[in-house]
Each structure stands twice: as C-alpha cells, then as structure tokens.
A and B are shown apart, each in its own frame.
Chain A
Amino acid sequence: MSRIRQPRAASPSPASLRAHPGPATEQDKSVLTELDRCLINTLQGGFPICERPFQVAAASLGIDEDTLIARIDALLQAGVLTRFGPLFNADRMGGVNVLAAMAVPAAEFQRVADFVNLQPEIAHNYRREHALNLWFVGAADSAQKVEDAFDYIESMTGLPVYRFPKEREFFVQLILEA
C-alpha cells in the first residue's frame, strides 16, 4: 500500500506481533528477524523471471539463493506470508472480482462462513463488525461464474447476498511495510 508510499509507522514490536489473535491460523507468529523484514519489504513485487530468480533476488538482499528459499518457506509455514508467486488481476483476464456481503445470524455464522469458503470462486472472506457481518470477494474468469456462486450461496443458506460490484476503481496498491 500506502505505508510504503509514505512510511510513518515504526516497525511492529514483537509484542504487537503476538498480541493479535490473528486470522484462521491461531499459531504464534514467530518474531521476524531483520532479514525477514527486509525480505518482506523488498519482495512484494519485482521477483524476477529468469533461470535462477531466487539467486538474483537473494543477491539484492545480500544473501544466497538457498537462504532466501529457506526463509520464504519458513515464513509461509509460519503464516507470516499467505502466498508466494504471481498476483493475477482478474479484470485483465476478462474476468471479474465482485465484493458481496451477507447479514448472518450469530448462531449460524460459522456454518455459513464455512460454506462460503468452500466455494472455489470465493477468493477472500472476512468477518466484519456490522449488521452485514460477512464480506467476501467472488473472483472468476467470467461474471456468470461469480453470479452462479452467489446464487448458489443464497439458495443453500436462504440468506440474501448483497452484491457490491465496483463501478469505478480509484486506486489499488497494497504493499505492507514489515
């Protein structure tokens, strides 16, 4: 994002890394080393396309290829990274990305959230504090597939899925500073 466009916050303290209950993985996040931070701050984009890309990226961090591969692997295992690889833009693939929300009664929340997560078209899903408490993104290579997934969720849960398709995009860039 943003925090790199104009960094202002100090690095997170070890306490802040541990303080949050975190996402689905409840395991304790290991404290990041300086190398980990550097890796995260420099490798959220720009990973090369060449024969030995880890070697090239490692050189810019002042480490060797094996060390970089091992650190990325460890950070993925620890849940500090959710993914490593290309980020695709659904819009440019002739596909779509649609935000949607549901108001799910508390007693049914987990069941409905699990069901939504099972649909392969659902790329992200967040619980949010609002009457509309379940917010998710349907992404696929056609609008019809996303619409079908939303219809299916409605029919199986008996709850409306409110669609919030983007009508205009003003800015998108999420790069987090570690």
Chain B
Amino acid sequence: MSNLDAIDRRLIAATQAGLPLTPRPYYVIAEQLGMSAEEVMARMRAMQETGVIRRIGVVPNHYALGYSANGMTVWDIADDQVDELGERIGQLPFVSHCYRRPRRLPHWPYNLFAMVHAKSREEAQADADRIAAVLGDACRKSDILYSSRMLKKTGLRLVD
C-alpha cells in the first residue's frame, strides 16, 4: 500500500461494500471503528483528493437501466501506432474504458480494448464502426465480445 496506513485500510474495509443508509453514515462507521467522525470524514476527503476514492455515489446495474449491449470491442493495432490511437479512441464520448493490453497469441491477437455500453447491439455496432473509422488501416483485425451474463460485480474487496 503506497500512502495508506492501517486506519485507512480499516476504513476501506468498512465502506467497500457500501455506506450505511442512515442520516449520519460517517458517524456510524466511526462508531464501528472506534474513532471520531471528524477523523473518518477527514480521511475520506484525503483519499478522495489522492484518487484512492474515485467517487462516492450510486453504482447502477447496466442492465436495469436498459444498457443490455455491453460490448468489449477489441482491436489488433500496429504496435507503433497503438498509443496514439488509444488516446483518440479514449476521447470518443461513448467509450467508457480504453486500455492497451498484451496479445496472447495464437488465441488472442488484440492489443487495444474499448468498452461500449449501448441499449442495443445495433447501437453498439454503430459505436464500433465509429471506432473503426478512427483506426483506419492501422487496425488489422477486430471483434466485439458481448457480455451475455453478469456473474459477479462486487467491486474491489480488500482481503487480508
């Protein structure tokens, strides 16, 4: 753990499954951990500032909101162009995550991953077509892997 101490870790462990649904949630956590609410809040603010906490809020289930076409679009891009093109693909408004990852030949030739969340496969395909247009000839092969079932989604859990 880079910049987190044992108290931060306990705080993460106490909140990673969710905040208590009571008017003073940080006070409840403070009580559970035997510390002051002021310290809980100060530490959470600090973790937000350092980016340990990305954000605090509700996490919707894609499917429940009608985003049934969750497509992982994958692309085989020339190595000398993948970083520049990855930046451009990441800026497309419908791409939620974009990463360069290693190929696993011969099973897997793709080195650029871009997630699209759409309400139909037609819409997801249209998104993929727009990505393909940006990639042009640098793309040798591509695919879209649709998720047919969400089997688990718990987010990070610290395990000791």
Contact = CB atoms under 8 A, between A and B. Distances in A.
A73 B21 CA distance: 7
B94 A49 contact: no
B61 A131 contact: no
B32 interface: no
A52 B61 contact: no
Q: How large is the interface on A (under 10, 10 to 19, 20 to 34, 35 or more residues)?
A: 35 or more
B61 A16 contact: no
Contact of A168 (B100, B143, B147): B100
B64 A44 contact: no
Contacts of A127: 147-149, 151
A85 B90 contact: no
Nearest to B44: A49
Interface residues of B, number: 87
Given A79-B61, A86-B19, A165 B102 contact: yes
Nearest to A162: B104
Contacts of B23: 52, 54-55, 65, 69
Interface string A75-98: 110111111111111101111010
A81 B156 contact: no
B139 interface: no
B123 to A, nearest CB: 7
A68 B99 CA distance: 36
Contact of A85 (B19, B94, B118): B19
A81 B16 contact: no
Interface string B93-123: 1111111111010011000010101110001
B44 to A, nearest CB: 5
A47 B67 contact: no
Nearest to B158: A141
A12 to B, nearest CB: 3
Nearest to B116: A2
A80 B100 contact: no
A117 B119 CA distance: 26
A10 to B, nearest CB: 9
A178 B115 CA distance: 18
Contact of B156 (A69, A130, A139): A139
Given A103-B107, A176-B117, 9 more contacts: A2-B95, A22-B63, A51-B27, A55-B23, A82-B153, A84-B19, A126-B147, A170-B98, A170-B99
Interface of A: 1-3, 5-6, 9, 12-13, 16-17, 19-20, 22-24, 29, 32, 39-40, 43-47, 49-55, 65, 69, 72-73, 75-76, 78-90, 92-95, 97, 99, 101, 103, 113, 116-117, 120-132, 134-136, 139-141, 145, 162-174, 176-178
Interface of B: 1-4, 9, 12, 15-19, 21-27, 37, 41, 44-45, 47-48, 50-68, 70, 72, 83, 86-87, 89-102, 104, 107-108, 113, 115, 117-119, 123, 143, 145-159
